[in-house]
Amino acid sequence: MASVYKSADAQRLIQGWCRNRIDGWNVEHRRWDVVTAAGATSVVAAGAEPTDTAPSIVLVPGTNMNAAVSLPFAEKLARRWPTLILDVPGQPGLSADHRPRRNRMAWYGQWLAEALESTIAGSAVVVGHSLGGAIALACPSPQIAGRVLISPAGLVRLAVAPSILAATIPWLARPTAARTNRLLQHMLAPEHRVPEELSDWMTQVARHCRSSLAPPPLPTAVLAAVRQQATCLVAIGRDDVFLPPGRIGPAVRRSLGTDLRILDHCGHLGLDEQPNEITRLIAEITS
């Protein structure tokens, strides 16, 4: 099992950053840990109390993301639904710091099933971004009443253009705000600027953490089970550099039996770029 942090001091700094953000959130909320086979899992809840008569929204963030950097989007969700955000184990945040070297997606799928069982009594609409989308697809939990996947991994391999590598290598080697912004700008639609909080966070990640790679496509049998289980809605930014619509669209139709939704004025960071559009997509499943 590999730790996401470069040192114990790095872990304290990253987790302090996260706690300060969550403690300072001006939305009524609560945070606690649940125990899973993957270790402690941090949960942040906002909005109405979950019930067993209507689904809760459970947000699973992507690589290097967590509840602390998802608060603006979570605030929009919490105005309409009981909302929970899970920090993914093995990613920077307040959950356990280790992730396995092999069979990672099956491990994550089981983790999510355990986390759902421990946090809500009823059903869930799981909103997964990037790595979080792959985790949602890998999870066999009968509590999942629907999936909303934003730029999800797990369907096709991500495209990594030379320009992305040229921005990533200096960011990892000697992170500065300017290098972070250069990398993040590739992930956003051209008309969007890098949010200051996200820039600060990703600079800290490069300094203190070991970033993980995107998972390969999930096995055909896993995706076939998802197709039979519950409604699945997949959306992608028109300007997503990692998952261009023309690349992932055929895989979505073939594997999940649904058409890809295209988000205009959006790149790979849809939760930051088009939160209102994504909220409307969630409402399609919950209404």
Structure confidence at residue 102 (pLDDT)? 85
**Res 108 pLDDT > 90:** yes
**Res 129 pLDDT > 90:** yes
Mean pLDDT of the residues in the chain: 95
**Res 244 pLDDT > 80:** yes
Structure confidence at residue 53 (pLDDT)? 82
Half-sphere exposure of 60 (CA within 13 A, CB side): 33
Q: What percent of the chain has pLDDT over 90?
A: 90
Structure confidence at residue 212 (pLDDT)? 85
Tell me the pLDDT band of 50, cut-offs 50, 70 and 90.
confident
Residues 6+ apart with CB under 8 A from 137: 128, 147, 149, 152, 154, 155, 218, 222, 223, 226
- 9-33, pLDDT tens digit by residue? 999 999 999 999 999 999 999 999 9
The helix, strand and coil proportions of the chain, stated in percent and rounded to the nearest 5, come to 45, 20, 40
At residue 158's C-alpha, the angle toward residues 214 and 219, to 5°, is 70
Q: In the chain, count of helices (H) and strands (E)?
A: 11, 10
Structure confidence at residue 159 (pLDDT)? 87
Burial zone of 168 (CB within 10 Å; 0-12 exposed, 13-18 middle, 19+ buried)? middle
CATH code for the domain in which residue 92 is found: 3.40.50.1820
**Res 60 pLDDT > 80:** yes
DSSP 146: E
- Number of structural domains in the chain: 1
Mean pLDDT of the region 109-119? 97
Tell me the pLDDT band of 259, cut-offs 50, 70 and 90.
very high
Give the span between the Cα atoms of 125 and 4, in whole angstroms: 28
DSSP 80: T
Domain range enclosing 210? 2-286
Structure confidence at residue 205 (pLDDT)? 97
Helix (H, G, I), strand (E, B) or coil at 72: helix
Tell me the pLDDT band of 230, cut-offs 50, 70 and 90.
confident
Mean pLDDT of the region 239-250? 96
In this predicted structure, which of 46-55, 77-86, 230-239 has the lowest mean pLDDT?
46-55
Mean pLDDT of the region 135-146? 97
- 87-99, pLDDT tens digit by residue? 999 999 999 999 9
Tell me the pLDDT band of 245, cut-offs 50, 70 and 90.
very high
